[in-house]
């Protein structure tokens, strides 16, 4: 060691507030542990995963509730057989009422699109299930009944997005589909209404049908 050089360096003045600045920066900084970064990242990830899981669970329950609104009517009228069987078109349009009568033919046309044997119309009526009013068209495809349902939605009824349920976009309409009690239930929002296509068809077939019908329903259910 060179005494003279050391002496010269020891006489170099140190900024008066340097220690205070260092202490302030130390106080503002957390110490690192061997796994501190990983621990924090993992803990953050776990919290996020739990929150996301809770959010998904809640959203999925809400989606189930909303899809059951359509399923209830399908089961009540179609499966339990309580629907009025109709043969005449006039009867059907009268059953739908002036507001939804013009929707009948476009629904039939769209459902039949691309099919060798068009679906037959079993009924078109208004009904009430569990105190809720529905506009209900029932089609038959072979042995399977298909319900096209419209019901007024309340202010708090909106389809949540979930990872578990399928979300399909058809001409600007977001369709949510799930299998409930052995039925394929597709639901969508349409202005002040909720629309449904419910059937015993395979999920993909019901989904394709709902994607064709949803834009039509949307033209009338505003």
Partner 1 sequence: MFLLAFLRSPAPSPTREEFERAALPHLPEIYRTAVGLLGGNRTEAEDLSQDVFLEAWKSFHRFEPGTNIRAWLHKILVRRTSRFRQRLSRLLPFGNKDETRDDIPAEEIAVEVEVPDYLSDRQVVQAVANVPPPFREALILADVRGFSYQEIAGMTGAPIGTVMSRLSRGRRLLREGLAAVAEERGLGGGK
Positions touching partner 1 (CB under 8 A) are 1-2, 4-12, 14-15, 18-19, 21-23, 25-27, 29, 31-36, 39, 42-43, 46-47
CB-wise, 26 or 155, nearer to partner 1?
26
Question: Measured between alpha carbons, how far is 125 from 10 in angstroms, rounded to an integer?
Answer: 98
Nearest distance from residue 16's CB to partner 1, in Å?
Answer: 11
Phi, psi angles (nearest 5°) of residue 84: -75, 120
Question: Measured between alpha carbons, how far is 221 from 148 in angstroms, rounded to an integer?
Answer: 12
CB-wise, 43 or 113, nearer to partner 1?
43
CB-wise, 35 or 57, nearer to partner 1?
35
Nearest distance from residue 54's CB to partner 1, in Å?
Answer: 14
Nearest distance from residue 120's CB to partner 1, in Å?
Answer: 59
Residues belonging to the chain: 222
Name residue, tokens 């170099």.
12
For residue 164 the two structure tokens come to 């578990």
Nearest distance from residue 53's CB to partner 1, in Å?
Answer: 14
């Amino acid at each position: 060691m060179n005494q003279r050089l050391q002496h010269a360096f020891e006489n170099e003045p140190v900024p008066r507030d340097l220690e205070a600045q260092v202490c302030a920066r130390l106080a503002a900084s957390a110490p690192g542990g061997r796994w501190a970064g990983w621990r924090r990242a993992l803990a953050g990830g776990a919290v996020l995963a739990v929150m996301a899981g809770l959010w998904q669970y809640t959203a999925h329950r809400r989606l189930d509730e909303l899809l059951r609104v359509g399923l209830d009517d399908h089961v009540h009228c179609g499966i339990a057989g309580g629907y009025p069987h109709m043969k005449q078109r006039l009867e059907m349009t009268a059953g739908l009422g002036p507001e939804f009568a013009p929707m009948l033919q476009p629904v039939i046309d769209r459902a039949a699109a691309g099919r060798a044997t068009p679906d037959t119309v079993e009924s078109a009526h208004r009904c009430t299930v569990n105190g809720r009013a529905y506009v209900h068209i029932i089609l038959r495809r072979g042995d399977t009944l298909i319900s096209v349902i419209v019901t007024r939605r309340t202010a708090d009824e909106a389809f949540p997005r979930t990872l578990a349920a399928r979300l399909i976009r058809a001409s600007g309409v977001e369709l949510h589909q799930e299998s409930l009690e052995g039925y394929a239930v597709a639901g969508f929002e349409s202005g002040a209404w909720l629309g449904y296509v419910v059937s015993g068809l395979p999920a993909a077939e019901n989904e394709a049908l709902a994607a064709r019908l949803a834009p039509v329903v949307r033209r009338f259910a505003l």
